């Protein structure tokens, strides 16, 4: 081993925390759709199914 060379090779890594805005937006839309479907189902029950039992 020639003199002056390091004993170990170092790999330099830059770790950046990136917040992918398109991923955040698509997740928001997905859960908003779940909530909308849930409340739509509740509205259907109240409007059409529950009055049948009166």
| Model confidence at 16: pLDDT above 80 | no
CA dist 53 and 30 (Å) reads 34
pLDDT of residue 54: 80
Which of 12, 30, 14 lies closest to 22, judged by CA? 30
7: Cβ–Cβ under 8 A, 6 or more apart, which residues? 1
Residue 6's pLDDT is 59
Mean pLDDT of 31-38: 98
* Residue 53 confidence (pLDDT) above 90: no
**Residues 27, 32, 38, 39, Cα dihedral to 10°:** 170
pLDDT of 42 above 90: yes
- Given a cut of 70, whether residue 14 has pLDDT beyond it is yes
């Amino acid at each position: 081993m020639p003199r002056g060379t390091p004993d170990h090779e170092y790999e330099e890594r830059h770790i950046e925390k990136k917040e992918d805005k398109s991923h955040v937006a698509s997740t928001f839309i997905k859960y908003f759709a779940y909530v909308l479907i849930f409340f739509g189902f509740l509205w259907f029950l109240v409007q059409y199914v529950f009055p049948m039992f009166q």
